[in-house]
Amino acid sequence: MKPVVGLLLLEVIFLAIWTGVDMPTARETLFNNFIYQTCLSSGVYWWIIFLAYKVLFLFFGVFLAVQSRNFDTALNESKQVALCLYVMLLDICIMIPIGYALMNVPVVTFIVFAFGISLPYLAVTGILFSGNILRIFQVLSSRIFFLISH
Protein backbone atom coordinates (compact mmCIF):
# COMPACT_ATOMS: atom_id res chain seq x y z
CA MET A 1 0.00 0.00 0.00
CA LYS A 2 2.84 2.40 0.79
CA PRO A 3 4.34 2.26 -2.74
CA VAL A 4 0.95 3.13 -4.25
CA VAL A 5 0.53 6.08 -1.90
CA GLY A 6 4.06 7.20 -2.73
CA LEU A 7 3.42 7.05 -6.46
CA LEU A 8 0.12 8.92 -6.09
CA LEU A 9 1.83 11.55 -3.96
CA LEU A 10 4.56 11.91 -6.59
CA GLU A 11 1.93 12.48 -9.26
CA VAL A 12 0.06 15.03 -7.14
CA ILE A 13 3.30 16.92 -6.49
CA PHE A 14 4.17 16.87 -10.20
CA LEU A 15 0.71 18.17 -11.19
CA ALA A 16 0.86 20.88 -8.49
CA ILE A 17 4.26 22.05 -9.72
CA TRP A 18 3.05 21.99 -13.32
CA THR A 19 0.01 24.07 -12.42
CA GLY A 20 2.07 26.49 -10.32
CA VAL A 21 4.82 27.03 -12.88
CA ASP A 22 2.75 26.93 -16.07
CA MET A 23 -0.63 28.33 -14.99
CA PRO A 24 -3.43 27.34 -17.37
CA THR A 25 -5.14 30.23 -19.12
CA ALA A 26 -8.79 30.37 -20.11
CA ARG A 27 -9.64 30.41 -23.79
CA GLU A 28 -13.04 30.99 -25.33
CA THR A 29 -14.05 29.02 -28.41
CA LEU A 30 -17.12 29.79 -30.50
CA PHE A 31 -18.74 26.64 -31.86
CA ASN A 32 -22.31 26.35 -33.22
CA ASN A 33 -23.27 29.70 -31.69
CA PHE A 34 -22.11 28.57 -28.24
CA ILE A 35 -19.11 29.92 -26.41
CA TYR A 36 -17.03 27.25 -24.67
CA GLN A 37 -14.31 28.03 -22.17
CA THR A 38 -11.33 25.74 -22.05
CA CYS A 39 -8.14 25.98 -20.03
CA LEU A 40 -4.79 25.39 -21.68
CA SER A 41 -1.22 25.66 -20.55
CA SER A 42 1.40 26.98 -22.90
CA GLY A 43 4.19 24.55 -22.09
CA VAL A 44 4.54 21.46 -24.24
CA TYR A 45 7.49 20.23 -22.17
CA TRP A 46 5.31 19.53 -19.13
CA TRP A 47 3.02 17.40 -21.25
CA ILE A 48 6.00 15.48 -22.68
CA ILE A 49 7.33 14.86 -19.15
CA PHE A 50 3.87 13.71 -18.06
CA LEU A 51 3.59 11.26 -20.98
CA ALA A 52 7.14 9.99 -20.42
CA TYR A 53 6.21 9.35 -16.78
CA LYS A 54 3.17 7.33 -17.89
CA VAL A 55 5.23 5.37 -20.44
CA LEU A 56 7.66 4.48 -17.65
CA PHE A 57 4.68 3.11 -15.71
CA LEU A 58 3.74 1.05 -18.75
CA PHE A 59 7.22 -0.45 -18.99
CA PHE A 60 7.22 -1.15 -15.26
CA GLY A 61 3.86 -2.89 -15.66
CA VAL A 62 5.20 -5.00 -18.52
CA PHE A 63 8.17 -5.93 -16.34
CA LEU A 64 5.82 -6.95 -13.49
CA ALA A 65 3.60 -8.97 -15.85
CA VAL A 66 6.60 -10.85 -17.23
CA GLN A 67 8.08 -11.48 -13.79
CA SER A 68 4.80 -12.75 -12.32
CA ARG A 69 3.78 -15.09 -15.15
CA ASN A 70 5.36 -18.14 -13.47
CA PHE A 71 3.89 -17.52 -10.01
CA ASP A 72 1.51 -19.90 -8.29
CA THR A 73 -2.00 -19.65 -9.75
CA ALA A 74 -3.32 -17.96 -6.60
CA LEU A 75 -0.80 -15.15 -7.03
CA ASN A 76 -0.50 -15.09 -10.81
CA GLU A 77 -2.10 -11.94 -12.12
CA SER A 78 0.08 -11.46 -15.17
CA LYS A 79 -2.84 -11.85 -17.59
CA GLN A 80 -4.87 -9.21 -15.78
CA VAL A 81 -1.90 -6.85 -15.62
CA ALA A 82 -1.24 -7.41 -19.34
CA LEU A 83 -4.89 -6.68 -20.17
CA CYS A 84 -4.80 -3.41 -18.22
CA LEU A 85 -1.53 -2.44 -19.89
CA TYR A 86 -3.00 -3.19 -23.31
CA VAL A 87 -5.99 -0.92 -22.66
CA MET A 88 -3.74 1.83 -21.31
CA LEU A 89 -1.48 1.58 -24.35
CA LEU A 90 -4.46 1.79 -26.70
CA ASP A 91 -5.70 4.88 -24.89
CA ILE A 92 -2.32 6.55 -25.13
CA CYS A 93 -1.83 5.68 -28.80
CA ILE A 94 -5.38 6.26 -30.07
CA MET A 95 -7.55 8.43 -27.83
CA ILE A 96 -5.08 11.13 -26.86
CA PRO A 97 -4.07 12.00 -30.46
CA ILE A 98 -7.74 11.98 -31.52
CA GLY A 99 -8.57 14.28 -28.62
CA TYR A 100 -5.84 16.71 -29.57
CA ALA A 101 -6.74 16.63 -33.25
CA LEU A 102 -10.31 17.60 -32.34
CA MET A 103 -9.34 20.14 -29.68
CA ASN A 104 -11.13 23.00 -31.47
CA VAL A 105 -14.44 21.12 -31.16
CA PRO A 106 -15.02 21.18 -27.38
CA VAL A 107 -18.04 18.86 -27.26
CA VAL A 108 -16.33 16.15 -29.31
CA THR A 109 -13.15 16.52 -27.25
CA PHE A 110 -15.16 16.00 -24.07
CA ILE A 111 -16.92 12.96 -25.51
CA VAL A 112 -13.62 11.43 -26.67
CA PHE A 113 -11.92 11.97 -23.33
CA ALA A 114 -14.91 11.06 -21.17
CA PHE A 115 -16.14 7.97 -22.96
CA GLY A 116 -13.16 6.90 -25.04
CA ILE A 117 -10.95 6.69 -21.98
CA SER A 118 -13.34 5.74 -19.18
CA LEU A 119 -15.37 3.05 -20.98
CA PRO A 120 -12.40 0.80 -21.81
CA TYR A 121 -11.21 0.99 -18.21
CA LEU A 122 -14.70 0.18 -16.95
CA ALA A 123 -14.85 -2.77 -19.35
CA VAL A 124 -11.49 -4.07 -18.12
CA THR A 125 -12.61 -3.69 -14.51
CA GLY A 126 -15.79 -5.61 -15.31
CA ILE A 127 -13.82 -8.37 -17.02
CA LEU A 128 -11.30 -8.63 -14.19
CA PHE A 129 -13.85 -8.77 -11.41
CA SER A 130 -16.74 -10.52 -13.17
CA GLY A 131 -15.93 -13.87 -11.56
CA ASN A 132 -15.84 -12.37 -8.07
CA ILE A 133 -19.04 -10.41 -8.63
CA LEU A 134 -20.78 -13.54 -9.95
CA ARG A 135 -19.69 -15.50 -6.87
CA ILE A 136 -20.99 -12.76 -4.57
CA PHE A 137 -24.40 -12.83 -6.26
CA GLN A 138 -24.51 -16.63 -6.10
CA VAL A 139 -23.79 -16.58 -2.36
CA LEU A 140 -26.36 -13.84 -1.79
CA SER A 141 -29.02 -15.63 -3.80
CA SER A 142 -28.40 -18.91 -1.96
CA ARG A 143 -28.68 -17.11 1.39
CA ILE A 144 -31.89 -15.40 0.32
CA PHE A 145 -33.30 -18.74 -0.87
CA PHE A 146 -32.32 -20.31 2.46
CA LEU A 147 -34.03 -17.52 4.42
CA ILE A 148 -37.19 -17.74 2.33
CA SER A 149 -37.41 -21.52 2.52
CA HIS A 150 -37.10 -21.64 6.32
What is the number of domains present in the chain?
1
Rounded Cα gap, residues 134 and 132, in angstroms: 5
Confidence band of 145 (pLDDT split at 50, 70, 90)? low
Residue range of the domain that includes 85: 2-149
pLDDT tens-digit profile of 16-62? 998 888 888 887 877 777 777 777 777 778 888 888 888 887 888 78
For the chain, list the strands marked E by DSSP: 25-31, 34-40
Rounded Cα gap, residues 54 and 35, in angstroms: 33
pLDDT tens-digit profile of 84-95? 777 777 777 887
Average pLDDT value for the chain = 78
Rounded Cα gap, residues 25 and 131, in angstroms: 46
pTM of the complete model beyond 0.75: no
Q: 96 CB contacts (<8 Å, ≥6 apart)?
A: none
